[in-house]
Chain A
């Protein structure tokens, strides 16, 4: 349950932040949501990873569909790995580690 709350929370908060601010502010968002929800470390990591990954890949899919993949195909020829996969990994890893940090800060010592 709390997993779902963190997942949705991360997506929403990061969406709002990224609509106005640089990309890395999603780490601040993921961290804050993780801290507030207070899942255990590994669960928080997973929720943060998936939250940002879903947000990023979802947004990327939206643009891709809207523009008939005009640029995705070209960037795929430049990148060693598919652009969606790379977007998922990069967004997910930063979101995941930020959420892990948030969860760990909250744990009572």
Chain B
């Protein structure tokens, strides 16, 4: 009897401990509750106060002591005595705040999300591997490791991250590891490569080759040029040097353009989202109040928590730089030092091509190239899947690149195989660019630094304390014949391959232009006399014109003026389209809600301010109109590309009888007038429904509802809704989920001054007050002045001082 009782009690105790020490999945995953709730080791340990302790930590691999002063925003000011120690410290400090983010982003890049979330992510993971993300990262690492400077930099950074990972006990793990019940794996140089390729994927994976190939089946060439022009010819290009491109361009043998005759049935790849873009500009001293140049940058990306950026100040002999870094990559990416400042916007160029490959048979082992059969390379990819057995996929590589779609993946027709040629697959050494930019003293150094930069192509703005301003569009751009690479290419003919690249010195660039400023906002790069063929998925049409108009008008400019410009909510798109839309309306038959909307719209000043109701009505109208106009494209059986906003509005105004304005779902023949009217009814309906649900008036900030979501699928407990104006196509480009992920203003006076803010905080820990402490300042369009001093003694009265000391390995 006793034995039985003891046995039962023991089994219950054991079962409880077992059951609470492991995770479960009943529809949704449950963390190991015993571990998770234990206040000595579980989530409670992740709660932090404002204070941070002064610490002395022993790190192996350090050569000398590194001192870090945290300021009140938790920005580390790192003082090292050599480069290796500097990057080791950067890796260590970044991991301390952002390890989960770094691991999740690199897992996502490498197609390893199924390991964390299970089989639901398998298609995503296979797509990542098939588009060659790991292949690209491996090539990047080979290039990095071949260069002694890059090698030392990346290896030190990796070492720093790993020292932090090794120091972790369960109670120190970032909260997300405890929630998802996994442990960090060692960092590698490859992960730095993956992180950079993830950026290339965000910024430079957009193309519409397959969509345009399908369009050739439905529309004639004139219609294609009308709907998807290479250059919309709107506003100023980034660089206008009409007639002054003084070089002899590289040319290719002339081959007649062969348009493909093919209906592509693959599902669409996720596109670079409409809200992704950026602004940057630099103003010469002749236009500023201080007489020194001013430089600004605000990259528009997915707004997440933790933020994509981590601000850091790095100082060692030969370098004193501060700005935004990417957790997972060494150095500062957008920032300033004591002589120069620089910033980036995306160059948009089409650097993705698709080749139709002809295989000898369905083993996919040999493929045709001109008159020969070439062997294909096969790579077997293993996918670990949480909660089930691993899955394998074989990826076939041609010399073009990986065959993304074949008989194993999302392709019902076994005869069609499409290989991906993407510039990000090529070995490159961007990390050297940032190493050198961080140390640049003048325009010459900046130019030399950019010579190392290949992908993702960016518009690099520059300003220096010596008074120069400059812009350079840098990337590795293939020389193309007109319209080549716009459609699916014939993979059996080498004549259509990338045969030469535009020499760096022929890239689009400008220095100290007469107008007194340089600027870029993802618009078309060069005037029509630039001798190389250029195309992209789309170029920006509104922000760039607004920025250039204001910069042209402004004089005696202060940093405050440029902060206001970054926060400018003027909706140029609305100013150009709303009067026409309103004139199309038949106002004699409006119901009460419509009449009231009409009145509000008539009186609206085109500002997408927080309190504006006109902005809400306009955007709701537009959101109804665009899909209604392009219903033919949305409902096509194969993928087609949507024309741009600018082209859509232009067609509505100038070609009201265009066939696309006829709505398929109705028997009547519609023109622009009717489609605009129908969209108005729908838009007002959308607002009325929203009002009924929310029980409030449609203020723009409420209706738009900018949301900064935690990286774990926007977990509501760790995410925030903020009150913010603007929208895509507006200088303050904050849409619902995208926007200015970093705002920076630098005054290049003798002593450089800089201001910045981003929607988040330095800590990635939802249990820290530094997780979101910059968020409201960002939302209000305010800035923090950065403490940028060369002397470590200036930081004595700071939040905390951390000393890293070398220890024998």
Contacts and interface: CB of A to CB of B under 8 A. Distances in A.
B37 A63 contact: no
A70 B38 contact: no
B13 A23 contact: no
B40 A59 contact: yes
Contacts of B40: 18-19, 23, 59
A87 B20 CA distance: 12
A70 B768 contact: yes
B7 to A, nearest CB: 9
A78 B28 CA distance: 12
Contacts of B768: 70
Q: What is the interface of chain A mostly: helix, strand, loop, or mixed?
A: helix
Given A68-B49, A71-B766, A104 B41 contact: no
Interface stretch (B112-120, B235-243, B712-720, B728-736): B712-720
A4 interface: no
Contact of A74 (B45, B766, B769): B766
B33 A90 contact: yes
A63 B13 CA distance: 27
B9 A97 contact: yes
Interface in A65-100: 66-68, 70-72, 74-75, 77-78, 83, 86-87, 90-91, 93-94, 97-98, 100
Given A56-B39, A60-B44, A66-B49, A24 B767 contact: no
A71 B47 CA distance: 5
A104 B9 contact: yes
A59 B39 contact: yes
A65 to B, nearest CB: 10
Nearest to A62: B39
A90 B33 CA distance: 8
B767 A101 contact: no
Contacts of B48: 67, 70
7 contacts: A24-B20, A64-B44, A67-B47, A70-B47, A70-B768, A91-B37, A94-B20
A27 interface: yes
B659 interface: no
B46 interface: yes
Interface of A: 18-19, 22-24, 27, 31, 41, 56-57, 59-60, 63-64, 66-68, 70-72, 74-75, 77-78, 83, 86-87, 90-91, 93-94, 97-98, 100-101, 104-105, 107, 109
The 6 closest A-B pairs by CB, nearest first: A71-B767, A23-B38, A77-B717, A59-B39, A67-B47, A71-B47
B223 interface: no
Nearest to A15: B40
Interface string B1-26: 11001100110110011001100000
Contact of A27 (B17, B35, B717): B17
Interface in B169-204: 170, 175, 179
Given A23-B34, A23-B41, A86-B33, 18 more contacts: A23-B40, A60-B39, A60-B44, A63-B45, A66-B49, A71-B46, A74-B766, A74-B767, A78-B717, A87-B38, A87-B39, A90-B37, A97-B12, A97-B13, A97-B16, A107-B2, A109-B1, A109-B2
Nearest to B21: A24
